[in-house]
Amino acid sequence: MGKEKRTKVTAPSKNEQLAAFRMDHDGKTLTTNQAVPLSNSGSSLKAGSRGPTLMEDFHFREKMMHFDHERIPERVVHARGFGAHGYFQVYEPMTEYTKAKFLQDPSKKTPVFVRFSTVVGSRGSADTVRDVRGFATKFYTEEGNYDLVANNIPVFFIQDAIKFPDVVHAIKPEPHNEIPQASSAHDTFWDFVVNTPETANMIMWLMSDRAIPRSFRMMEGFGVNTFRFVNARGKARFVKLHWKPLLGVHSLVWDEAQMLAGKSPDYNRRDLWDTIDRGEYPEYELGVQFLEEEDEFKFDFDILDATKFWPEEDVPVKLIGKMTLNRNVDNFFAETEQVAFQAGNVVPGIDFSNDPLLQGRLFSYLDTQLIRLGGPNFHEIPINRPVVPVHNNQRDGYHRMTVDHGRVSYFPNSLQGNAPHDAENGYMHYTEKVDGHKIRQRSDSFKDFYSQATIFWNSMSIAEKQHIVEAFHFEVGNVMDKQIRQRVVDMFNYVDGQLATKIAIGIGATPPANPGTTGVTKKSPALSQENTLRSARTRKVAVLAENGFNFAEITQVTESLMRAGVEAEIISKTLGMITSIDGQQLEVKKNYQTAGSIMYDAVYIAGGRRCVDTLLLLGDAMHFVNEAFKHAKTIGATNEGVDLVAAAQLQGVPIALMQPQAQLVSELGIVTTRNAVEMGHFCQKLIEAIAQHRHWLRQKQKERV
Q: Is the pLDDT of residue 74 over 90?
A: yes
Q: According to the model, what pLDDT value does residue 612 have?
A: 97
pLDDT at 705: 40
The per-residue pLDDT for 655 is 60
Mean pLDDT lowest among 207-211, 390-394, 457-461 = 390-394
CB atoms within 10 A of CB 185: 15
Helix (H) / strand (E) element for 82: namely: strand 81-90
Res 6: pLDDT: 40
The structure's pTM equals: 0.93
Per DSSP, what are the bridge partners of residue 580? 549
Report the pLDDT value the prediction gives residue 298, as an integer from 0 to 100. 96
- Residue 365 has a pLDDT of 86
Residue 29 to residue 41: CA distance in whole angstroms: 11
Q: Is 379 a catalytic residue?
A: no
What is d(CA 25, CA 16) in angstroms, rounded to the nearest whole number? Answer: 19
Residue 2 has pLDDT above 80, yes or no: no
Known catalytic membership, residue 152: no
pLDDT at 579 over 70: yes
- Kindly state the average pLDDT of the residues 561-586: 97
DSSP symbols for 272-332: HHHHHHTT---EEEEEEEEEEGGGTT-SSS-TT-TT----TTTSPEEEEEEEEEEEE-S-T
Which of 527, 534, 522 lies closest to 214, judged by CA? 534
User: What are 486-520's pLDDT values in tens digits?
Assistant: 999 999 999 999 999 999 999 999 999 999 888 99
pLDDT per position as a tens digit, 291-328: 999 999 999 999 999 999 999 999 999 999 999 999 99
Render pLDDT for 389-427 as a digit per residue (tens, 0 to 9).
Answer: 999 999 999 999 999 999 999 889 999 999 998 888 899
pLDDT in tens, 228-258: 999 999 999 999 999 999 999 999 999 999 9
Strands (DSSP E) found in 188-269: 221-222, 227-230, 236-245
Instruction: Please answer whether residues 257 and 129 qualify as being in contact, where contact means their C-beta atoms are separated by less than 8 angstroms.
Output: yes
583: left (phi over 0), alpha (psi -120 to 50) or beta: left
Catalytic residue chosen out of the listed positions 85, 145, 151, 695: 151
% of the chain residues with pLDDT over 70: 94
Say how many Å lie between the first and final Cα of the chain, rounded: 63
Contact 571, 543 (CB under 8 A): yes
Q: Is the pLDDT of residue 3 over 50?
A: no
Measured CA to CA, the distance from residue 79 to residue 337 in angstroms comes to 9
Mean pLDDT of the chain: 92
Distance of CA 335 to the CA centre of its chain: 17
In SS3 terms, 358-386 reads as HHHHHHHHHHHHHHHCCCCCHHHCHHHCC
Percent of the chain with pLDDT over 90: 79
| Under 8 Å between Cβ of 369 and 340 | yes
> Of the residues 78, 379, 693, 695, which is catalytic?
78
Average pLDDT for 69-76: 92
Split at pLDDT 50, 70, 90, the class of 1 is very low
Q: Which domains does the chain have, with CATH numbers?
A: 81-384 (2.40.180.10), 451-531 (1.20.1370.20), 540-698 (3.40.50.880)
Q: Is 86 helix (H, G, I), strand (E, B) or coil?
A: strand
> Would you say 374 and 177 are in contact if contact means Cβ atoms under 8 Å apart?
no
For 246, other C-beta atoms within 10 Å of its C-beta total 16
For residue 136, the cross-strand partners are 115, 149
How many other CB atoms are there within 10 angstroms of residue 572's CB atom? 27
pLDDT at 677 > cutoff 70: yes
Is residue 696 pLDDT above 50, yes or no?
yes
User: 212 and 251 in contact (C-beta within 8 Å)?
Assistant: yes
Specify burial of residue 674 (Cβ count, 10 A radius: 0-12, 13-18, 19+). buried
**Is 662 a residue whose pLDDT tops 80?**
no
| Residue 258 CA neighbour count, 13 Å, CB half | 6
Provide the CA 180 distance to its chain's centre, in angstroms.
22
- Interval 420-442 mean pLDDT: 88
Residue 603 burial class via C-beta count within 10 angstroms: exposed 0-12, middle 13-18, buried 19 and up: buried
Q: Does residue 475 carry a pLDDT above 50?
A: yes
